[in-house]
Amino acid sequence: MRKGQYQFVTGFLLAPVALYLIFVIWPYLQTIGYSFTDWKGQSQTFGFVGLDNYAALLEDNVFLQAIWHNILFLVFIPVITILLALFFAFMLNAGGRGGAGGVTGIQGSGFYKIVYFFPQVLSLAILAVLFGAVYRSDQGGLLNGLLVKAGLVDAGRPVEWLNEPSLVLWCLLAVVVWHGVGFYLVLFSAAMQSIPKEIYEASLLDGAGRAQTFFRVTLPLLWESVQTSWVYLGITAMDLFVLVSTMTSGQFGGGPDHHSEVMATVLMRNFLYFGKSGYACAMGVVMLLLTLILSVVTLRATRRERIEF
């Protein structure tokens, strides 16, 4: 590359890199610095407290409970979402009957892709309102209405979906999975369409069934897409602030009695409501570290030799 080309490329990169440093890296550095202080948020005067905020986190039962809830989401959200998306994508691309045209998806696969992807066009605010109506704790709620009509629930004692400690996390999990399956279905479908049909046809001619074809052919060839999806879903499971804060009870959500708390809701409550901004920054640093560790561990644990076709 000639000297003039270096200057041309550098000129184009200078502005994006500067914006990234100002609006992404610098706020991270500020947050790390504030986490070692007793900053109250409103005042510009604060004192250095060292690791006191991090020591307090180890004794904060609400925050520790929130970490446990994030871990549960971290386990179930990627597993359920990816399994459903893979199953639906396989059926839509290679689940039809083989014929003269070769391996095809089920009939109407194009329509199903639109239906499954539809939740992705809804914002989280709309999603919260929609499922707030689904989980209403009276007969006006969709679930309770169906259960009452089916005679499975007494009309005078409907299920408190979002106020029942043993149910609230699973209700939120269902919303996240419903919202995410369509996107990853389209992602996996695009990857499957790049796989030559001859590979499927050869496996079927050799006597392989649909299940064997999926696990021996499709999944290995899609592993890089699955790996990337796992990381993104893991990052989603570490946040969930908007959904929890809008759908559950309590200041910034987390109810009932902290049974749906996630780290982000505890952080925002301490930052905006209690005025413990330095302490909240320490929570943010912990979230950042856990997310980075999650990404690195996931990428290394799921690393496989790339398969060419």
Convert the pLDDT of each residue in 173-183 to its tens digit: 999 999 999 99
Confidence of residue 214 (pLDDT cuts 50, 70, 90): confident
**Helical segments of the chain, H only:** 3-20, 26-34, 52-57, 61-94, 109-117, 124-134, 142-149, 168-193, 197-205, 210-213, 219-221, 223-237, 241-247, 263-268, 277-301
Per the CB < 8 A criterion, the answer to whether 31 and 44 are in contact is no
Using the predicted structure, report yes or no on whether residue 309 has a pLDDT greater than 60.
Answer: no
Distance of CA 91 to the CA centre of its chain: 23
What number of other Cβ atoms are within 10 A of residue 106's Cβ?
14
N- to C-terminal Cα separation, the chain: 33
Q: State pLDDT tens for residues 116-172.
A: 888 888 888 888 889 989 999 888 888 999 988 888 888 788 899 999 999 999 999
Whether pLDDT at 216 is above 90: no
Alpha-carbon span 117 to 139, nearest angstrom: 29
- C-alpha–C-alpha distance, residues 131 and 162, integer Å: 10
The answer, yes or no, to whether residue 62 has pLDDT greater than 90, is yes
Query: Residue 200 pLDDT more than 80?
Result: no
Greatest mean pLDDT range, 2-6, 110-114, 275-279: 275-279
CATH of 54-301 given 3.30.9.10, 1.10.1740.10, 1.10.3720.10, 1.10.10.10:
1.10.3720.10
Q: How confident is the model at residue 29 (pLDDT cuts 50, 70, 90)?
A: very high
Q: Please report the pLDDT score of residue 103 as a whole number.
A: 62
Look at residue 84 in the predicted model and tell me its pLDDT. Answer: 94
Task: Check whether 101 has a pLDDT greater than 50.
Answer: no
The pTM of the full predicted model, rounded to 2 decimals, is 0.87
